[in-house]
Structure 1
């Protein structure tokens, strides 16, 4: 028994040594250590960004976009390592960048980033490059030095734009905000963030989509569906190529339209058809401008003249940017005239109430029908017939 006992103890020691070897020489703990080491480097990198400390930033990696960001007002900046792929003394890492713009974002924006890394002689990871992750959009500072202009109700961030040009955008946004509040009411942030890249390609980069998808589109608004109270601020992203060809009124209408999307975000969701969200934004944009239906809806005016009045309200598919340009224009015009009809026949407060009632519905099915009955006292069939008659009356 004693002999067996000694053999058992010796085997236990061997087993322990084997386990130590497996743990010490194996992957998981070493990989965990690598990730923790990298996280510590990225924590120092984030602190350097917040403190605008160039020297501290360089200790974590190449200067890269650091100088491009220096004018942007930040409330927070952090990284979280989600994956590390090591090959000897080099690696790539997937990380989530989270940041907030001071005074505008109530919660961090999250952006996927890919880091290219090398191991220094002291064993520290060094960031050789940082770029948007695959299928992730660029950030404005990825495109160049960001210039910042503060308006009374706006923050304008631009790349490759003159200070004078950015101030003009701020003036337009500052006029848009009170115009939107006058129509929608005060239950929104009451300010807007406008991003102005150098070109259409820059806009596409910020949206993570091909430039062909937005050619001819002057601006778009990005934000979280439903607009939770703690969501990051929406961004109005301008296509400077298309925006430049607009007249003074057109530029103001576009900024007011996009600002309306910012204001209505909390009551816009999956239940809201595009004819209503886009039509309402156009209604606010044109409100008070004196533009007649013939001037603002030329494509539908031609359709009415050709006795080709649409049979139904525009579908979401009609609003596709890459489709038929005439059909797209008619969709926007049809949505605008539907909202204009509601404001004229039922009153502007009812239009706002109708919009909220549709958006607050839990699903698309029945959302419009329910709001039409509850708020306007009509049916979808009756409303559609009235809208078609309104087109003939206003555009005939």
Structure 2
């Protein structure tokens, strides 16, 4: 049986009305997507609203406007048990109050003595004359925990030896009336600055900034930020530890010679150099200076005591002279063809010298003195360039 034309017209009108109803929101609310709160504490829900279109003229700010919070689903009339708070009522399932000014479209609400059963999704509704509406598309998810979330430590810039650095510790403050107290544990002296700040989603957090000057001794040491939340007559604590990664120039440079016993002219010795740095040392370069001239440049620490030049008359040793002592000079400077003043300052601060004693024993009176080992140097390059 075919539908009459007038029936088709009514169906089209009905469907278009349904689409218009579901396509437009009578109330737009702004609130955080999620809040993590503590059992037994309070929680503040930052909330604001706007009434779009022609409906904005229906809100009469001269009369009392009630705020309603509904859990789990936005339907108001069909599930009255889901209404947990109505500001027009003196007794509510959740103890709380709207602290915002509803006439200024501020619906910020505080709930007290929250329990783990409060974990759920919540929608906001306005009850006024003649305007009533719920925002079905925006809600806040409340998570109630027995223990607080750990604070977050961040650092801006490089942690470098001898340079002042600041670390930030942030902890959420779901109950701004009783914010957490932040304390630091560091392996050195420091200064702190604390403040309560507002986040982009209008939630609150406590920010603590600590400033200190690290040294190489602080490398791989822990710093800890501890957040203490007052809950009733007790406290709940959470902390975050971070290991320091301090950049520093070579330290504890050590040179050694093998064999360590006195060696004879013509024999060879192995020179060993070690150093601690961050980033680690990647290149050790040995070089020897004789008479002011560079005579050897090698990454291998092996030095041989040469004989006298052919045709040269050997020098007769003194009666009380049985050995000579020579030193290996370990130079930890960073050599460059051209360096900036800042680089030169880093080079001076990073220099170290260590000495390795070489005892050279003559085998006979006709053997010449070992006079071509004026200085042994080791260049330590952290970047791998000789």
TM tier, shorter chain?
A: under 0.3
Structure with larger RCO (C-alpha < 8 A, sep 6+): 2
Q: Which has the higher strand share?
A: 2
Q: Which has the higher helix share?
A: 1
TM-score, normalization by structure 1: 0.24
